Amino acid sequence: MLTKSDLKLEKEWERKRRERGYAHGYVVEVPDDMADMRRLYRRRERPDGLRGPDVVSDLARLALEWGDRRFAQCVRALFELDIVNKQSHHFITKKRGPHAASLKASAMDYAVAKVGALRERNPNLSEWEACALVAEDLVWEATSFEAAIEQLRQASRRAKTHRS
C-alpha cells in the first residue's frame, strides 16, 4: 500500500517516465579509430520514426553525390550485419552489437548502491522508502511504480546476500 509520500513519488516517476522515454543500452567500449563517434552518440535507442529505407536511400545518394565509397560501405555494413533487410530496406531488429551492454545490468548495480547509501545516511529510512526514492530519482523502468520498487528491493536483498 502506497503512502501519501509514495503516491507523490509515483506521480513524479510517471511524469519523468513520460518525458524521458526509454533507453535500453549504451556503448561501453569505443574502438580507438572511432573515438570521434563518442561525441555524436547520444545513448538512446533508435527512434521509432527512423525508417530504414530513408537511411539506405540517403546513404546511397551521398555515396553517388560525393563519390565517396564510405557511404556505400555503410549501407553494405547495414546489410551484412542484418540490421537492414536487403530487399525491403526496413530495419530488421533492435539487436545490440558486441560493443554494447545492457543498461539494465549496470544501472541495477548503481541503483542498489544508491539504495545502500541512502540507508547508511539515514538509518531510520526503510528499505521500501529508499527503493521508492531511488526508483523515482532514476525513473526506474518497470510496468508500474510499485513494480520498480519491488525490482530494486529484490536486487538490494540479493546484493546483501552476495556481500555476506
Q: Are 25 and 103 in contact (CB under 8 A)?
A: yes
Domain span at 89: 25-100
Query: Is there a single domain that holds both residue 119 and residue 144?
Result: yes
Ranking 69-73, 139-143, 155-159 by mean pLDDT, the lowest is 139-143
Query: Is there a single domain that holds both residue 33 and residue 89?
Result: yes
Which pLDDT belongs to residue 50? 80
pTM higher than 0.85 for the full model?
no
Hey, how many other C-beta atoms are within 10 angstroms of the C-beta on 140? 22
Number of domains making up the chain: 2
Ranking 19-28, 33-42, 54-63, 124-133 by mean pLDDT, the lowest is 19-28
Query: Is there a single domain that holds both residue 129 and residue 144?
Result: yes
* Residue given cell 539487436 in the structure block: 95
- Does residue 22 have a pLDDT over 80? no
Query: Is there a single domain that holds both residue 108 and residue 72?
Result: no
Counting every residue, how long is the chain? 164
